[in-house]
Amino acid sequence: MIPELLQNLHSLREKCVDKQVALFQAVIQSLRQDGADRGLDYKISGFHVPPNSDEAAPLLDPVENEIVLAKTSSSVFLSTNIDYILRSMKIEHLIMAGCLTDQCVEHAVRDACDLGYLVTLVVDGSLTYSQERHEASLRAVGGYCRHRTVAEMIVELGNI
């Protein structure tokens, strides 16, 4: 599923670049080599991605003006300054995609909605360990966001 996901994300990003939509990527990465800054879940599970390691690389190579944030917990909103950046840029609508649907993506969707953002989750731009888990997560966040495919988002973005 990874090659298909990457192709979908590349297609969506090309349209976003064309329409001058601000781009962000969050990567899991400790800010300290020893990982002392990680969230409790990551500490308990022994999950540690040191700074500048191969595992900390963004899923897609960043393009000009794309913001890459290192997050130290499942929630990009709790462990980065993304909310501050989005508000500074006067961004109210978010298009979300990524890995893992039922963990980091779902957490970001819920947090963004609770913070007052209008969220669209790209269903074929996200994945997790199984299709069953992916679909369960999509159902779980149904009230927090709207669901669109990459093709649907490209059409919508073409209309702005």
Q: Are 71 and 98 in contact (CB under 8 A)?
A: no
If you search the block for the tokens 């508000």, which residue do you land on? 87
Predicted TM-score (pTM) of this structure: 0.94
Nearest Cα to Cα of residue 43 among 75, 73, 79: 73
- What is the helix (H) or strand (E) element at residue 135, kind and residue range? helix 131-140
- Please give the domain boundaries of the chain with CATH numbers for all domains: 2-158 (3.40.50.850)
pLDDT tens-digit readout, 101-157 = 999 999 999 999 999 999 999 999 999 999 999 999 999 999 999 999 999 999 999
Degrees to nearest 5, angle at CA 88 with 84 and 90: 115
* Residue 4, pLDDT score: 94
Residue 75: pLDDT over 80 = yes
Contacts 24+ apart (CB under 8 A), 106-111: 106/137, 106/140, 106/141, 107/74, 107/75, 107/76, 108/26, 108/75, 108/76, 108/77, 109/141, 109/144, 109/145, 110/141, 110/144, 111/75, 111/76, 111/77, 111/78
pLDDT tens-digit readout, 24-67 = 999 999 999 999 999 999 999 999 999 999 999 999 999 999 99
Residues 69 and 105: their CA atoms lie apart, in Å, by 15
